[in-house]
Amino acid sequence: MTENKRGAGILLHITSLPSVFGIGDMGPEAKKFADFLHRSKQKYWQLLPLNPTEEGQAHSPYSSISSRAGNTLLISPKVLAAEGLFDADELATLELSQQGITNYKEAARVKEIIFAKAWGNFQQGNGDVLKKDFTDFKKKEAGWLDDFALYMLLKQKNDSKPWFQWPDEYKLRDKSALHKLEAGNLEEIEKIKWLQYLFSKQWHELKSYCNNLGIQLFGDLPFYISYDSVDVWAHRHLFSVDKDGKMIGAAGVPPDAFSEDGQLWGMPVFLWDVLKKHNYDWWIGRFRKNMELFDLVRLDHFRAFADYWEVPAEEKTAKNGKWKPGPGKHFFEVVEKEFGKLPFIAEDLGEINEPVYELRDAFNFPGMKILQFAFGDGMPKNPYIPHNYSENFVAYTGTHDNNTIRGWYRQEGCKYHHQIEKYIGKSLTEDDMHIEMCRLAYSSVAKIAILPIQDVLGLDETGRMNTPASGENNWGWRLLPGQVTAEAEQLLNEWTSLYNR
């Protein structure tokens, strides 16, 4: 019997899970959600990037301080208690109320208390069984972990200022100054590494749990890395910054129908000629880490591998930028030689030109189809309308950057109501619109259909995860306990069987 290549999954970030500690984590609720996916016959759980986030970047997972480290706020206190690293009764006194929103500030405060005590308990011999495992982890991950621990220590000692505002000896990585710093702060450095070990351990336990249920984890890799990151600090030669660390060329996108100034992201672009001379080793390491964390990886802003928009760093808008050639086919040939068949999905959305499609298709990477983009002028020929799909795509009702379907129907999509009804062949209301759009994604020929959990539950615009180019109310939406219903499970089961997924 041939394997069914059609499949379906749910988009939900770890932070959006219910939890009594202010933010979703990798503990019991994550496994509970995996059980729900299994019972619903889902093959994929799609997530956002797992790297550390910062208050200064509004906790965007797409602007991280590290391309390799994990977000320690996702560590589960309940798992720590189960391993004897924290007292379960004391844990109950630190619980926060659940209000369907991620409280980053309170989550950080409470987890700082928990981590400090757990670290003390670990040093006193609790969780002794983990010690060899921790030593092995430090050795295996030293290539990025040693720099990360120093960077985090220097952040703490410099009032969280970005590295390019540190004293010169640290900013410019004077070897003797860094050795002296390390020698004088061995315990703090060890604790930073230990928290990364805990993140890795809990993540791999969750991944094994999901894989054993037949669920593949579908991750997300941002193209750029934050200017204030350990990567730029430790590898200045790979980025468009001068010898003093000042940014020269900034990343962004040009003006378009959505923004007359374009978007300026405040991240340095890569020096691809230098990366090429080093056989793309920084990227190879980054891919290796993501392929260890995930079964499939979405390459965010895929078009920049073909060509990217570079803006002089002193500009206030993205208008005066230039298109520069990306690394193109040679890059993926080197990556393919290293890893063999690549488990990548190309985020081929936005203003895309033919070379981007050619690059995607040269390596047979699936692209993305978003139903919210399907309606409007020229709809019958629109590439996002299901009758124009081909098999090698992932179909979505919307992504983390879109409104929920119910919110879209009420807001951006209100002018398309008649057109949508004609296409679907029945009258619609706000109450059943999400059902019909979910069915369209499932019934398409796209080999994978992914639905944000908000669309399965029919949530309105208050369930939106992110509004691009808006700095407020992003990355905060969260499920309440019991919000994922038996009815949702039944619907997914029905659609999975009906549409052979």
What pLDDT is recorded for position 3?
82
- For residues 13 and 385, give the distance between their C-alpha atoms in angstroms, rounded to a whole number: 27
Closest residue by Cα to residue 406 from 451, 342, 365:
451
Half-sphere exposure of 422 (CA within 13 A, CB side): 8
249-253: strand order across its sheet: 263-268, 249-253, 307-312, 322-325
Containing 121, the helix (H) or strand (E) segment is helix 104-123
In this prediction, residues 69-97 reach a mean pLDDT of: 96
Q: Quick one: pLDDT at residue 127?
A: 76
Contacts of residue 38, defined as CB under 8 A and 6 or more positions apart, other chains included, come to 213, 214, 215
Using CA atoms, how far apart are residues 493 and 443, in angstroms rounded to an integer?
A: 14
Using alpha carbons, select from 69, 78, 61, 75 the residue that is nearest to residue 26: 75
Average pLDDT of every residue of the chain: 96
Rounded to an integer, the average pLDDT of 466-476 is: 86
Residue 231 annotated to the active site: no
Residue 258 banded pLDDT, cuts 50, 70, 90: low
Q: What is the CA radius of gyration of the chain?
A: 23
Which pLDDT does position 1 carry in this prediction?
A: 63
Task: For 352-374, give one letter per residue: b (16+ CB within 10 A) or e.
Answer: beebbeebbeeeebbbbbbbbbb
| Cα–Cα distance for residue pair 334/282, rounded to 1 Å | 12
What's the rounded Cα separation, in Å, for the pair 232 and 242?
11
Q: What's the pLDDT band for 320 if we cut at 50, 70, 90?
A: very high
Q: Are strands 296-299 and 344-346 parallel, antiparallel or unpaired?
A: parallel
Judged on CB neighbours under 10 Å (0-12, 13-18, 19+), 145 is buried
> 218: buried, middle or exposed (CB in 10 Å: 19+, 13-18, 0-12)?
buried
pLDDT, tens digit, for every residue of 105-116? 999 999 999 999
34-82 pLDDT, tens digit each: 999 999 999 999 999 999 999 888 999 999 999 999 999 999 999 999 9
pLDDT at 252 over 70: yes
Active site residue 401: yes
Question: What DSSP line would sit under 383-438, residue for residue?
Answer: TTSGGG--SSEEEES--TTSPPHHHHHHTGGGGGHHHHHHHHTS---TTTHHHHHH
Integer Cα distance of 166 and 467 in angstroms: 33
**What pLDDT is stored for residue 157 in this prediction?**
97
DSSP 125: T
The closest alpha carbon to 81, from 97, 70, 73, 92, belongs to 92
**pLDDT tens-digit map of 188-211:** 999 999 999 999 999 999 999 999
Q: pLDDT tens digit string along 424-461? A: 999 999 999 999 999 999 999 999 999 999 999 999 99
Residue appearing with tokens 């009032």: 159
- Per the CB < 8 A criterion, the answer to whether 448 and 422 are in contact is no
Active-site option among 228, 300, 436, 455:
300
Start-to-end Cα distance in the chain: 15
- Is residue 371 within 8 A of residue 437, CB to CB? The reply is yes
- CA atoms in the 13 A half-sphere facing the CB of 154: 31
164 pLDDT band, cuts 50/70/90, is: very high
Catalytic residue among 29, 220, 347, 455: 347
Which of 64, 241, 68 is CA-nearest to residue 146?
68
**Band of the pLDDT at 350, cuts 50, 70, 90?**
confident
Question: Quick one: residue 92, left, alpha or beta (phi over 0 = left, psi -120 to 50 = alpha)?
Answer: alpha
Q: What is the pLDDT of residue 104?
A: 97
Q: Residue range 464-469: average pLDDT?
A: 90
Which of 496, 347, 452, 395 is closest to 12 using CA atoms?
452
Rounded Cα distance, 85 and 118, in Å: 5
Give yes or no for a contact between 13 and 400, defined as CB atoms under 8 angstroms apart. Answer: yes
| Per-residue pLDDT reduced to its tens digit, 226-244 | 999 999 999 999 999 999 9
Q: pLDDT for 117-130, tens place per residue?
A: 999 999 998 877 88
Give the DSSP H or E segment for 489: helix 486-498
Q: How far is CA 495 from the centre of its chain?
A: 27
pLDDT higher than threshold 90 for residue 257? no
300 is catalytic: yes
Could you give the C-alpha distances from 44 to 381, 451, 475, in angstroms and in order? Answer: 30, 10, 21
Cα(315)–Cα(177) distance, integer angstroms: 34
Residue 471 has pLDDT above 80, yes or no: no
DSSP one-letter code for 48: -
Residue 473 pLDDT greater than 90, yes or no: no
Which tokens go with 217?
Answer: 């984890």
Instruction: Indicate which residue of 188, 401, 412, 494 is catalytic.
Output: 401
Task: Give yes or no for residue 358 having a pLDDT over 80.
Answer: yes
- For 7, the 3-state DSSP assignment is strand
pLDDT tens, 364-402? 999 999 999 999 999 999 999 999 999 999 999 999 999
Tell me how far apart the alpha carbons of residues 488 and 494 are, in angstroms, rounded to a whole number. 10
- Whole-angstrom distance, CA of residue 424 vs CA of residue 421: 5
More confident call, 255 vs 286:
286
